[in-house]
Each structure stands twice: as structure tokens, then as C-alpha cells.
Amino acid sequence: MTQIETSSTHSSFPLPDVFSSALVSMFNMLQPGIVQVRNGHRGGGTGVIWHQDGRIITNNHVVHGDRPHIQVHLWDGRTLQAELLHRNPELDLAVLKIAGDNLTPLPVGDSSKLRIGEWVFAIGHPWGQRWALTSGIVSSFSSLQITNDVKTRYIKSDVGLAPGNSGGPLLNADGEVIGINAMIFGGDLSVSIPSNIVSDWLSSLPKGRITLGIEIQAVELPAEVRQQVEPTRESGLLVVGTSGRQQHQDLLVGDILLDVAGKPVRDGATLRQILAEGEAGRNVSMRIVRAGSVLSVDIATQIAQDTP
């Protein structure tokens, strides 16, 4: 009996302690690269710091709306305003940009190497609970035809997700981002967008912000202009300066922007979001006021290079 007890004592498995210690270390290392994203009063989600210049990946549905007011909460207590740079509703991805120092991007892994049965982890803010860690295993892979031209692959796992996890990282055991968590599928399986899909989309984007090459200022519309447009319309965007390719040819100082791509623009944030949804170098239609008359024009967008 004594020999059995001794044998049992010496054969205790050290794996749980080793695994737990490694998981704690991984969480502490990765937490600074994961943010909470808030979109006004419309709820929130999670984001991944993708680059030290302040670019953040999240889900498009986290920052939905015509005029999102986006705030990003960092692990060290800072709250920063975020600008929407790009969105892809088909892939459910969006790129945000914050201006801050000491930002820690997460390491990105190769999702093509992921195998069924591998351990995966998620860190996010389910139901508003900040930086919650859950774990699971890769269950399967699936493909979905999004549009006639776009077909993408998804990772399915039993990692625990809930509202607030959207846009956060799916991590492998090495602490690398191998997916962006998107939603809960039928049968309690979680769905994540593979990191390679994210990287391919990012590489196809223009290397900078889409812009019109103008400086603007919100102004109140004169009464005679409101009568031409709509009586309830009170404001537009006055062009106070031009730069880049425009060179005073397409838009003039003194023009007032009313609508861009069919959407009214009343402030700079709305204009930037509309441009972010378009494609650089393509013409965008707009209504403007020039010398008291309402005109329809097509203006070519351009790229404002981001600082490395």
C-alpha cells in the first residue's frame, strides 16, 4: 500500500502547472495589444493593434453606421478617439487609426498552418467585461461565397465568444493572431476570419487615407441655398484650401460641399468615413454650392500618405 501511494505521488502530472503558467505569461504579454472599441451608444467590440503607428483591426459591424463616433480604450486606462480608415462589409473587417504612443502590435501568425484539434484562445470584452480570456480547439474550416467574385474561408472553433468579443483576436498557442473573431455560428461554434485573409485585404488597400485634397470648415447654409436644396438643411462644408492634384481645378476655395456619394456631409468625420468606403483614384459624385448655385460634379480622390 505504501509503494502504491509513493508511486502515485511521484507520477503527478506537471502539465497543468506548466500550461497555466504559460497561459498567464501569454495573456500578460498580449493584453496591451488588444483594445475595447466603443461606437457611441450602439454597443462595442474588440480591436487588435495591427501596427505601432496606431492602425487597429476590428469587425465592420462593430463600427457600423453613417456617422460612427468611435472611441478606443487601451489596457493602460487611456481613451482615444479613432478614425475609420477603411471598411469591408463583405469580409466584415474595418481599419481604425488612433494617435497615441507606446502602442504594442500583436504578432500575426500564418492561418494556413492551423490544424483541426489545435488549441486556440480569445481575448475580448464579452458583455462589456474587459479583457476576458477564453479557450477552445479548432473544430473545422468552412468556405462561404460572399459575392459573385468573393469567396472566403472561415475558422470554426468552440472558443467561448459573446457580444463584445467581435473584432478581437483568435490566438494560437504561440500567442500569434491567426484570426479575427466575428460571430457565433449555429451549434455554438465560433467563427473567425483567418489572419491570412486579413493580411491579403490590408495589402490591397491604398497606403494612406483617401482624401479630396482640400481643407474644410463646417458652415451654416444661406437661406437662398437652403431653398434650393431643402429648407431643413442647415449646414455644409466650406472649402477653405486646396492641395495635391486638385490645384484649384475641380474644387475651388469658397465652394460648399452638400452631398458626397449621395450622402449629406455636415462635418469632417462624415466626409472621411464616406471617402474611406470608396476606392482611391476613382471619381466620387457630389453636390456643391458655387457662387450661389447648386452644381453636381465628379471629383477624383487621392491618397494622403500615412506616416510610417
More confident residue, 211 or 95: 95
Domain end, chosen from 73, 98, 123, is at: 98
Q: How far is CA 208 from CA 32, 81, 110, 173, 308, in A?
A: 25, 18, 25, 33, 10
Give the chain's mean pLDDT.
Answer: 84
Residue 233 lies in a domain: yes
More confident residue, 57 or 214: 57
* CATH for 51: 2.40.10.10
Q: Name every residue whose Cβ is closer than 8 Å to that of residue 3 and which is 6 or more positions away in sequence.
A: none
Catalytic positions are 61, 92, 166
Instruction: Let me know whether 217 and 291 are in one domain.
Output: yes
Residue 157 lies in a domain: yes
Instruction: Let me know whether 212 and 195 are in one domain.
Output: no
Instruction: Let me know whether 252 and 291 are in one domain.
Output: yes
Helix (H), strand (E) counts: the chain:
5, 20
Domain end, chosen from 204, 235, 262, is at: 204
Mean pLDDT of 166-176: 96
Mean pLDDT of 23-35: 96
Grade residue 60 by pLDDT with cuts at 50, 70 and 90. Answer: very high
Instruction: Let me know whether 127 and 197 are in one domain.
Output: yes
| 141 pLDDT above the threshold of 70 | yes
Query: In total, how many domains does the chain have?
Result: 3
Structure confidence at residue 145 (pLDDT): 64
* CATH for 221: 2.30.42.10
Residue 254 lies in a domain: yes
Q: Which of 5-19, 52-66, 144-158, 259-273 tops mean pLDDT?
A: 52-66
What is the pTM for the complete model shown? Answer: 0.68
Structure confidence at residue 115 (pLDDT): 96
Instruction: Let me know whether 200 and 212 are in one domain.
Output: no
Grade residue 223 by pLDDT with cuts at 50, 70 and 90. Answer: confident
Structural domain harbouring 92: 26-98
Instruction: Let me know whether 224 and 176 are in one domain.
Output: no
More confident residue, 220 or 213: 220
